[in-house]
Structure 1
Amino acid sequence: MNFSKTDFDKDLDEIAEKFKNNIKLLDRSYRLKTYKQCFVGSEAVDYLVQSGATANREDAVLLGNAFLEMHLIEHVLRDHPFKDDYLFYRFVGENERGNYSIDETTGESIKWDNFLGAVEKVQDESLQPRLPQPDFESLNPKDQHVAKHVWPMDKYNTVLLNYVHPPEWKDPNPNKKDGSSTYDLVVIGAGVGGLITAAGSAGIGAKVAMIEENLLGGDCLNVGCVPSKAFIHCANMAYSVKGDTKRLEEAGIFVNPETVKVDFEKVMERVRKIRAEISQHDSAERYSAELGVEVYIGRGKFTSEKSVIVNGRTLYFKRAVIATGGYPILIPMTGLKELHERSISVDPTDEPRPIVTTNETFFNMTKQPKNMVVIGAGVIGMELAQSMQRLGTHVTVLGRSGKILPKEDEDMAELVKTQMIRDGVSFNLSIAEYKTIKLTGRVLDNGYPEMEMTFVEKGKAGETKLIFDSLLIAAGRRPNVTGMELELAKVDFDTKRGLLVNDKLQTTNPRIYGVGDCCSEFKFTHAADFMARTVIRNALFFGKGKMSDLLIPYATFTTPEIASVGLYGKDLEERGIEYRVFEKHFKDNDRSICDDTKEGFIRFRVDAKKDTILGCSIVGEGAGNMIGEVTLAMQSSTGLGSLASVIHPYPTTSEAIRQAGDAYNKTKLTTTVKSLLRGIVKFQS
């Protein structure tokens, strides 16, 4: 009996009923023992594939394990999961065909939700480090995200908006007379997490709706990865010919830095151009016409545990995914909120506007500031501060922790700070309190109003004043979880931590999952990508993928770069794990010597008793590209000693990875082993 497409739209109970009514039951013997009325796992897999219930044998095993979790079937000895093997299974309930869909412990009908698990604390057994979090204590817990602001409306931003927020977009036609629609999956949020979830689910036959209030592509395309890397590229090129003349001269290249001009307007135009070129990949039209996703542009709000309303239409779902991301926070400081609101005002009479930005509005700048203040010494603050300095704006970085890039090893972060000081960046990282910010009343020749900030420094009496014409707030991000009526969906959340999810990324409503910045401290595009892949398996295919199983590398694209994967030393010490450190410095690497990029090193943290890699950090040119090899080694359980046998092209900086493996292997050459080896050599004829 074949399962049709209609069957898949029905409850899992109905699919299970067909399986139970058609699988062949026999008395079977193994090792002189007879098992009554059972079936063989591999034969059940044959049936599920041949009947069309699943596309392949792997999916059949997933489905079989779902039946096992539902207590529909069990191994005859109860010591095996469902496998594609010659193992015996039987139906629960005295081998009788009948009402199998009742949970004997609760008396409730068994649904998909029953075997997906409850919200639970993730155990500290993964190789994910603990990341520093923003200080939310003095922020309004009811604060809501302000929509991203796109400016100027030139040809490039027009192209961008036509792709990711088309003004004439029409919602899909309803499939019910009352105007409602029913979906296998509804995704709220069209950043990377939402896009991957929606496209991946639609690609395997699910009926999917995706809701986005603002810009498809989310932070990554519009205000994050794409524009920032285009911007950093321009800054680094400017530095190579204007700020690094000593290095050029040592290479026999002489450039007069006075004749090198940075056209800031052209730099920002290029950023907008690149963003527009890439935006078609995330366009509403592509996801609708090519990928089979029904796209709604509007604000989605839950109306029940299995419905959401958008643009006046109710969408019912079997499963839902919240992928609403996060947004930058504004620190408490008298006058800041008012100046920020004025800076993004669309009132054409409100000129000149102060330049008070977050990463969401930073790339709207057209004129170059003379003096910029950056509040926040994390990744966003450091990348943009260094780039602005290299393009010719004097930058001052303010912070409270006394250090930059707080998640990284301090000596590695110090190398970045040292380079930024060489570039001309000023640092004051001992701020006790930000007091006030206001306009001075003076407008500079670049058209920007001048601002004055007062703050209190630790250990100093009185207040310090700072004058500047541009401010970037990069003090942390907050999960975007308010304004969706999550209470009606029975989804618990916290305005600091975001959605409360279990290790399978399932919220307190087992129909609804979370993906990305709205529920994770790993606020990276690639983390949201792989969280989405995990959720697709868990929500639609009875998978048991865990967030804690993901090995997430990340990089900071300053000069020098820093990249890390796995646990840091402080994490290992907190967990009581003994470890050893192996390092190789780029000053000893032939390619680094040739390229004059000798600053930096690679640091492995390995188990104290074996070569298992527990974590790795790299600081130096190209660190972000190098960390992938280490991530692969850790993912595949390849030890540091084994990396010594991986042949790398010569000369490359990645040879430092192999050399670290050599360093580990040398520790195995004890005095006894060396003596034995010398003895063997002596006996050679």
Structure 2
Amino acid sequence: MECDVLVIGAGAAGLTVASGAAQMGARVVLLERGEMGGDCLNYGCVPSKALLAAASRAQAMRDAGGFGIAGVEPQIDHAAVMDHVADAIAAIAPHDSQERFEGLGVTVIRAHGTFTGPRTVRAGGQDISARRIVIAAGAAPLVPPIPGLDTVPYLTNETLFALRDRPDHLLILGGGPVGLEMAQAHRRLGARVTVIEAERAMGREDPDMAAGVLERLRAEGVEIAEGARAARVVGGEGAIRVEAEDGRSFEGSHLLVALGRRPNIDGLGLEAAGIETGKGAIKVDARLRTSNRRVYAIGDINGGLQFTHVAGYEGGVVLRSILFGLPAMARRDHIPRVTYTDPELAHVGLTEVEARAANGDRLEVVTAPYARNDRAIATRQTTGQIKLMVVKGRPVGATILGAEAGELVAPWSLALSKRLKLSDISGMVLPYPTLSELGKAASGTYFSPRLFDNPWVKRVVRAVQRLLP
């Protein structure tokens, strides 16, 4: 079989390339050994956000008192909650289905692919030759060799959403975004939850902003043990104990391993294609090409940022290269990330620490609190703030803690992508009352001292007033 573009993996990255290339006239073959839609649809973004939505409804019933409505403890049917999760997956699945892509003209082969040469892959008993090959095989849950872990039943994001019964006490290894999202969701749905983090929970994020998330989770009853590196796991079904290096011990009924993901490079036959790897991932250049210039690697498998939106973005970059021969290169400075806890924590660009290290005294940090936003006050969502990192009038980073932070970070991703100035943001006219006004308020905070505390501005205004008829 011969084609123009061979795509290995039908997750977000692979589907972006396959659909775009096919619709623009290329002959495309798509290989997928597992579920169409990949991790995001089946085990990641979609089911986790559906579970978080159910948990949010439960918590709203408890917290209704502030609105003059009697708060009540919700009656939760965990199996029905998981049915809701399954419904969300099923509703989106047709968009990623084999039938849809075959309708676009893609040849879909549901089999594992292995390189047999620089331009050839064997899959499903067929040898496929392609002008360009895109590896988008994704990643799998990272399960480290903790002594005893292989002797007890444990969950990962690939098995968590199959639970029909609520865990009595969920232990979570890992205090990153996935661990904390699932911690809050399960706590709000009635489980006891303990998060066990080897270093600092949300260690990648701005410490001041991350503290707001951790404070809320602890207030809701989630135990978060930081500096607790797991040394051993013992027990069996329904009774698992994690022992930390410092002597602390944590007991629960279920164990979720949420310690990151490892690229799926095994079994691809990369050596036969002359494709180099490093640090457990496929090496790529700025154009996302491997050491074999006819082969690209996009999404989680190249060791970069492991987000669905990054996978889709990289798919678009590769399409420009393989279809039009354009020297398209991937950027990283405008890529946002969001932790979907309540409150949400969103970020794009440089953190305050990174921006200060890169810019020194040129950096200005401005903030605007949710507590001064009229919509936040009306909806009792006043926890949080927006923090902007600004250099010579241009934002270089934005961090948002609070309600709908994932939505509010979008214009800042655009600002960094297009290198806009804060004056462009402050010049927007926004509907009132909305949370989106927070961004404009932060921009106003930057300009206020320059306008209102500047004696030269006041002198000019007075002079103009004397001259005006």
State TM-score, norm by structure 2: 0.96
Q: Which of 362, 365, 370 lines up with 2:163 in the alignment?
A: 365
Q: What's the counterpart of residue 318 of structure 1?
A: 131
Q: What's the counterpart of residue 67 of structure 2?
A: 251
Q: What is the deviation of 1:681?
A: 2.7
Conserved 8 A contact 2:355-2:389:
no
Structure 1 residue 237 corresponds to structure 2 residue 57: yes
Structure 1 residue 519 corresponds to structure 2 residue 339: no
Q: What is the deviation of 1:281?
A: 1.1
Code of the aligned partner of 1:308: V
Q: What's the counterpart of residue 238 of structure 2?
A: 449
Q: What's the counterpart of residue 116 of structure 2?
A: 303
Q: What is the deviation of 1:550?
A: 6.6
Call closer, same or farther: CA 1:633–1:432 in 2, change over 3 Å.
closer
Measured in 1, the distance between the counterparts of 2:314 and 2:401 equals: 27
Deviation per CA, 1:314-370, whole angstroms, max 9, x where unpaired? 10111000001111111232221233xxxxxxxxxxxxxx4x111111101111111
Deviation per CA, 1:216-250, whole angstroms, max 9, x where unpaired? 100110001111111000001001113x2xxx223
Measured in 2, the distance between the counterparts of 1:665 and 1:256 equals: 46
Q: What's the counterpart of residue 590 of structure 1?
A: 374
Q: What's the counterpart of residue 265 of structure 1?
A: 79
Q: Which moved more, 1:548-557 or 1:477-486?
A: 548-557
Q: What is the deviation of 1:630?
A: 1.8
Deviation per CA, 1:588-609, whole angstroms, max 9, x where unpaired? 11111111111100111111xx
Conserved 8 A contact 1:534-1:546:
yes
Measured in 2, the distance between the counterparts of 1:480 and 1:188 equals: 11
Deviation per CA, 1:282-310, whole angstroms, max 9, x where unpaired? 1111111x111100111100000010000
Q: What is the deviation of 1:673?
A: 2.2
Measured in 2, the distance between the counterparts of 1:305 and 1:535 equals: 18
Structure 1 residue 664 corresponds to structure 2 residue 461: no
| Identity level (%) | 33
Conserved 8 A contact 2:333-2:416:
no
Q: Which of 526, 529, 538 lines up with 2:312 in the alignment?
A: 529
Measured in 2, the distance between the counterparts of 1:284 and 1:566 equals: 36
Structure 1 residue 331 corresponds to structure 2 residue 144: yes
Q: Which runs of 5+ in 2 are unaligned?
A: none
State TM-score, norm by structure 1: 0.66
Indicate the structure (1 or 2) with the bigger Cα radius of gyration. Answer: 1
Call closer, same or farther: CA 1:296–1:550 in 2, change over 3 Å.
farther
- 1:301-450 paired onto structure 2 within 5 Å: 301-339=114-152, 354=153, 356-401=154-199, 403-439=200-236, 449-450=238-239
Q: What's the counterpart of residue 463 of structure 2?
A: 679
Q: What's the counterpart of residue 570 of structure 1?
A: 353
Code of the aligned partner of 2:85: V
Q: What's the counterpart of residue 613 of structure 1?
A: 395
Q: What's the counterpart of residue 34 of structure 1?
A: none
Code of the aligned partner of 1:422: A
Q: What is the deviation of 1:665?
A: 1.8
Measured in 2, the distance between the counterparts of 1:455 and 1:426 equals: 15
Q: What's the counterpart of residue 93 of structure 2?
A: 279
- 1:442-521 paired onto structure 2 within 5 Å: 449-457=238-246, 463-496=247-280, 498-521=281-304
Measured in 2, the distance between the counterparts of 1:408 and 1:518 equals: 23
Measured in 2, the distance between the counterparts of 1:638 and 1:465 equals: 51
Code of the aligned partner of 2:67: A
Measured in 2, the distance between the counterparts of 1:189 and 1:574 equals: 39
Structure in which a larger fraction of residues adopt helix: 2
Measured in 1, the distance between the counterparts of 2:430 and 2:287 equals: 38
Code of the aligned partner of 1:666: S
Q: Which of 560, 579, 586 lines up with 2:363 in the alignment?
A: 579
Deviation per CA, 1:185-204, whole angstroms, max 9, x where unpaired? 11111100001111111111
Q: What is the deviation of 1:634?
A: 2.5
Alignment partner of 1:547: what SS? coil
Call closer, same or farther: CA 1:200–1:616 in 2, change over 3 Å.
same
Q: What is the deviation of 1:570?
A: 2.3
Structure 1 residue 183 corresponds to structure 2 residue 3: yes
